[in-house]
Amino acid sequence: MPLTPFHLAMRRFTLTAGFILSSLVCALAQSLTSPINPDLLTKRWPARWIAPPSVSLKDYGIYHFRRTIDLPTKPEQFIVHLSADNRYQLFVNEQLVSLGPARGDVNHWHFETVDLAPHLKAGRNVLAAVVWNFGPHAPLAQMSYQTGFIMQGNSPTESLVNTDDKWKVYVDPAYSPIPWGPVVKFEKYWYFVVGPSDDLDADRYPWGWQTLTFDDSGWQKPKLLAQGKTDGVAGDVNWNLVPRRIPPLESRWQAFAAIRRTTGLPASSALLTGNGDVTLPASTTVSMLLDQGELTTAYPHLVISGGRAANIKISYSEALFDSTTNKKGNRNDINGRQLLGYYDRFRPDGGSRREFMPLWYRTFRYVQLDIETGTEPLILHRFDSRFTAYPFQQRATFTSSDTSLKAIWDVGWRTARLCANETYMDCPYYEQLQYIGDTRIQALISLYNSGDDRLMRNAIAQFNQSRIPEGITQSRYPSELVQITPTFSLAWILMIHDYWMHRSDDAFVRQFMPGIRNVLDWFETQIGESRMVRALPYYDFIDSHYPLRKMADEQGRDGMTVNTLFYVYALDHAVQLLDAFGRPNESRYYKQLADKLRQATYRHCYDPKRRLFSDTPGKTFFSQHANVMAVLTNTVPEADQRPLLERALRDTSLIPSETYFQFYNARALQKTGLGDQYLPSLQAWRNMIDQGLSTFSEWEVQPRSDCHAWSASPNYYLLSLVSGILPAAPGFRTVRIQPALGPLTRVECTMPHPRGDMRVMLKRTGQTGIDGSVTLPAGLTGTFLWNGRSIPLREGRNVIRQP
Let me know whether 178 and 108 are in one domain.
Answer: yes
Whether 536 maps to a domain, the answer reads: yes
One domain for residues 543 and 506: yes
Domain range for 93 is 7-193+203-247
Rounded Cα distance between 255 and 272, Å, is 6
The verdict on 137 and 28 lying in the same domain is: yes
Least reliable range by pLDDT among 32-41, 143-152, 444-453, 546-555: 32-41
Asked if the model's pLDDT at residue 428 lies above 80, the reply is yes
What span, in angstroms and rounded, lies between the C-alpha atoms of 687 and 241?
47
Per-state percent for the chain, helix, strand, coil, to nearest 5 = 30, 30, 45
Half-sphere exposure of 364 (CA within 13 A, CB side): 30
- Considering the chain, what is the average pLDDT of its residues? 93
Among 211, 229, 247, which residue terminates a domain? 247
- Mean pLDDT along residues 415-437: 98
Largest alpha-carbon pair distance within the chain? 88
Residues 542 and 636 in one domain: yes
> Do 98 and 29 contact (CB within 8 A), yes or no?
no
Q: Which of 593, 573, 668, 591 is nearest to 623 (CA)?
A: 668
- Whole-Å CA distances, 182 to 325, 429, 431: 18, 12, 11
pLDDT tens digits for 248-289? 999 999 999 999 999 998 878 888 888 889 999 999 999 999
At residue 23, does pLDDT exceed 80? no
Is-contact 696 707, C-beta < 8 A?
A: yes
8 Å CB contact between 375 and 255? no
Instruction: Please give the DSSP secondary-structure letter assigned to residue 32.
Output: G
Residue 803 in any domain: the answer is: no
Contact criterion met (CB below 8 Å) for 63 and 147 = yes
Q: How far, in Å, CA of 234 to CA of 215, rounded?
A: 39
Both 41 and 87 in one domain: the answer is: yes
Looking at residue 656, which CATH number applies to its domain?
1.50.10.10
The string of pLDDT tens digits covering residues 574-633 is 999 999 999 999 999 999 999 999 999 999 999 999 999 999 999 999 999 999 999 999
Separation between Cα atoms, residue 724 and residue 403, nearest integer Å: 19
Q: What is the pLDDT of residue 236?
A: 77
Query: pLDDT above 90 covers what percent of the chain?
Result: 90
pLDDT over 70, % of the chain? 95
* Distance, CA of 11 to CA of 576 (rounded, Å): 55
pLDDT tens for each residue of 499-520:
999 999 999 999 999 999 999 9
CA distances (Å), origin 650, targets 184, 353, 515, 647, 660: 37, 62, 39, 5, 19
Same domain membership, residue 432 and residue 497: yes
Asked if residue 756 is part of any domain, the answer here is no
d(CA 339, CA 346): 19
Pair (515, 615) in one structural domain: yes
pLDDT band at 5 (very low <50, low <70, confident <90, very high): very low
Q: What is the pLDDT of residues 520-536, one digit of tens each?
A: 999 999 999 999 999 99
* Inside any domain, residue 757: no
CB contact at 8 A, 728 and 782? yes
Phi, psi dihedrals of residue 772, rounded to the nearest 5°: 155, -150
According to the model, what pLDDT value does residue 3 have?
40
- In angstroms, the CA 124 to CA 70 distance is 4
* Alpha helices by DSSP H, 135-269: none
Pick the last residue of a domain from 620, 655, 688. Answer: 688
Q: Are residues 374 and 240 in the same domain?
A: no
557 located within any domain: yes
Distance between first and last Cα of the chain: 70
Confidence of residue 238 (pLDDT cuts 50, 70, 90): confident
The pLDDT-based confidence of 566 (bands split at 50, 70, 90) is very high
Phi/psi of residue 75, each to 5°?
A: -75, 150
In this predicted structure, the answer to whether residue 29 has a pLDDT above a threshold of 60 is no
User: Residue 316 maps to which CATH number?
Assistant: 2.60.120.260
Same domain, residue pair 273 and 408: no
Identify whether residues 531 and 653 lie together within a single domain.
yes
Are both 479 and 507 inside the same structural domain?
Answer: yes
Q: How many C-beta neighbours within 10 Å does residue 701 have? A: 11
pLDDT bucket at 16, cuts 50 / 70 / 90: very low
Residue 352, pLDDT above cutoff 90: yes
Strand partners, 230: 241
Q: Quote the CA–CA distance of 124 and 556 in Å, as a whole number.
A: 74
Q: If pLDDT is split at 50, 70 and 90, which confidence band does 10 have?
A: very low
- The domain boundary, picked from 673, 688, 703, lies at 688
* pLDDT score at 2: 41
Instruction: Please give the pLDDT value at position 17.
Output: 29
The total number of structural domains that make up the chain: 3
Is the pLDDT at 22 greater than 70, yes or no? Answer: no
